[in-house]
Amino acid sequence: MGYNPIKDHGGNNGVFLDNYYRLHYADGASLVDNVPKELMEVVDPHWAQFPPQHPFVAHFGGLCYIVLTFLSVFGNGLVIYMFLKVKTLRSPTNMFMVNLAFADFGTMLTQGLPVGLGIFLHPVWPWGVFACKLYACMGAIFGVAAIVSMVVIGFDRYNVIVKGLTGTRITAGKAAIVLILLWAYVIGISIPPFFGWGGYAMEGVLVTCSYDYLKDDWNRKSFMLYAFIVNYCIPLTFITYYYSQIARAVISHEKELRAQAKKMNVKTLRSAGNSDENAEFKIAKVAITNVILWFMIWTPYAAVAMTAQFGNRQLITPLVSQIPSFVAKTASVLNPVIFALSHPKYREALANEVPCLGLGDKPKPSDTDTKQETA
């Protein structure tokens, strides 16, 4: 049986792949054997108990990061381009959707490329200690910005659908102030590790960096508890409230329509004149779906961080840590697909401005337009 040594930058040549690509290593070989000494500052001793990972794991992850980056940059870039180019889409409340797209765009641009390329340069994070900390910080900033943007969009939908005419009128000035406060909030809660509260470290199979959630000291524990509350619990509470109220309003409205139609002995009360109202409810339903997906995407990552800090740390294996970290980033691809593409006016603009994509729906010609064309 032939064996091919895996190049080991840490000086350990006892790791091999056989002709069937099965990984072999000597007793006592560790996941951290490949880590250069200068990087040990951001590697927790917890990872030393695990054996080397098969290189296929990292390489497959690298390809996934590259694909995810392309899809996110293209999808969110298209959303930003369309909402800024098409005048009918440049409403104050749509600024929140553009902000969500920008946060998702930034997430994968700063998180996807360094990992997707770095994995094929070195078995572990190749960019150095400071870049690891900066990567983790940028991931927190853009990731939390996307989360908080979902909260703001939830409030906007709640304001329109539930409050209706009694709701707060969102002007361009008010929207700009909300966005300024949003980014101030996000940056303020993401950078404390740079100033000594909490920390950043490599995670999982040591190809990405995030908050340091494996240290036992109260400095790390207090920061992770703080981050869990302000990054996850508070946004989740607001999102749950807004969209539960929206769901109730949608269900109540539909029930009233059916009851009224039954009294009038007709099948439905809906007509072309109600299209704008129907569009609002369609957007609300899609938004609820998006938030459910958001919950499913971010909860595993939050659970890993809290288990590492306050639960059984032995449950946190390299893949248990790495997979939720990757899954959390898929939100940056799902948001433009599920939310923006389901915006009726956005779909119409997309069909007019970028018809080569074959996406969107061109508006149907009205009777007036038809008569003019016939004449």
Kindly report the CA angle at 161 between 160 and 162, in degrees rounded to 5?
A: 105
pLDDT at 317 over 60: yes
- Of 19-23, 26-30, 113-117, give the range with the top mean pLDDT: 113-117
CB of 125 closer than 8 Å to CB of 118: yes
- pLDDT bin (cut points 50, 70, 90) of residue 8 is very low
Q: Identify whether 56 is part of a domain.
A: yes
List Cα–Cα distances, 351 to 60, 298, 341, 359, in angstroms: 35, 32, 11, 6
* pLDDT score for 271: 56
Tokens representing residue 148 in the block? 């908080």
Question: Is 108 inside a domain boundary?
Answer: yes
Q: In this structure, are 136 and 79 located in the same domain? A: yes
pLDDT of residue 107: 92
Report the C-alpha gap between 51 and 370 in whole angstroms: 71
**Residue 23 dihedral angles phi and psi, to the nearest 5°:** -85, 135
Which of 101-105, 158-162, 223-227, 305-309 shows the lowest mean pLDDT across its residues?
A: 158-162
Q: Assess contact for 224 and 309: CB atoms under 8 A.
A: yes
Among the ranges given (8-17, 73-82, 197-206, 258-267), the one the predictor scored with the smallest mean pLDDT: 8-17
Residue 181, pLDDT > 80, answer yes
Residue 125 in any domain: the answer is: yes
Candidate from 71-85, 273-287, 361-375 with smallest mean pLDDT: 361-375
Q: Quick check: 150 and 298 in contact, CB under 8 A?
A: no
Can you tell me the distance from the alpha carbon of 67 to that of 61, in angstroms, rounded to the nearest whole number? 10
In a domain, 94, yes or no: yes
Same-domain status, 262 and 320: yes
Residue 188 belongs to what domain range? 42-366
pLDDT of residue 286: 67
User: What average pLDDT does the structure give for the chain?
Assistant: 82
- Examine the pLDDT at 5 and tell me if it is beyond 90: no
pTM: 0.84
pLDDT tens track for 79-135:
898 888 888 888 888 899 899 999 999 999 999 989 988 888 888 899 999 999 999
| Section 216-245 average pLDDT | 91
Residues 308 and 343 in one domain: yes
Which segments within the chain are labelled E, that is strand? Answer: 3-5, 15-18, 23-25, 200-203, 208-211
pLDDT band at 295 (very low <50, low <70, confident <90, very high): confident
Residue 372 in any domain: the answer is no
pLDDT at 200 over 90: yes
Q: Please answer whether residues 164 and 157 qualify as being in contact, where contact means their C-beta atoms are separated by less than 8 angstroms.
A: no
CATH number at residue 123: 1.20.1070.10
Examine the pLDDT at 2 and tell me if it is beyond 90.
no
Structure confidence by residue, pLDDT tens digits, 262-286:
777 776 665 544 544 555 566 666 6
Between 310 and 268, where is the model more confident?
310
At 4, give phi and psi (nearest 5°): -115, 115
Phi/psi at 107 (nearest 5 deg)?
Answer: -55, -55
Give the model's pLDDT for residue 175: 93
At 213 the three-state DSSP class reads coil
Residues 146 and 251 in one domain: yes
Give first-to-last CA distance, the chain, whole Å.
82
Residue matched to tokens 């003019």: 372
Q: Identify the helix (H) or strand (E) that includes residue 137.
A: helix 129-158
Which of 39-48, 118-127, 212-221 is predicted least confidently? Answer: 118-127
Neighbour tally for 7: CB within 10 Å: 10
3-class SS of residue 18? strand
Residue 323 forms part of a structural domain: yes
Mean pLDDT of 296-322: 92
Q: What pLDDT is recorded for position 207?
A: 92
**Based on the number of CB atoms within 10 Å of its own CB, is 285 exposed (0-12), middle (13-18) or buried (19 or more)?**
middle
**What is the chain's length?**
375
Confidence of residue 359 (pLDDT cuts 50, 70, 90): low
Task: State percent of the chain over pLDDT 90.
Answer: 39
How sure is the predictor about 1, in pLDDT bands with cuts at 50, 70 and 90? Answer: very low
Amino acid at 278: N
141 and 244 in a single domain? The answer is: yes
Residue 167 β-bridge partners: none
Q: What is the mean pLDDT of residues 332-356?
A: 78
Average pLDDT over residues 331-345: 76
Which of 1-10, 205-214, 236-245, 312-321 is predicted with the least confidence, judged by mean pLDDT?
A: 1-10
62 within domain boundaries = yes
Listed residue (200, 206, 225) closest to 317, CA to CA: 206
Looking at the structure of the chain, the number of domains it has is 2
Mean pLDDT of 336-346: 73
Nearest-angstrom CA–CA distance, 46 and 103: 32
Q: What is the rounded CA–CA span in Å between residue 321 and residue 124?
A: 15
Q: Are residues 167 and 285 in the same domain?
A: yes
Instruction: Please give the residue that has the higher pLDDT: either 364 or 47.
Output: 47
User: What DSSP character marks residue 192?
Assistant: G
- Residue 221 resides in a domain: yes
For residues 12 and 85, membership in a common domain is answered with no
Whether 46 has a pLDDT exceeding 50, the answer reads: yes
The residue among 39, 47, 80 whose CA lies nearest residue 316 is 47
Of 92, 138, 90, the residue nearest 113 (C-alpha): 138
Strand order in the sheet with 23-25: 3-5, 15-18, 23-25
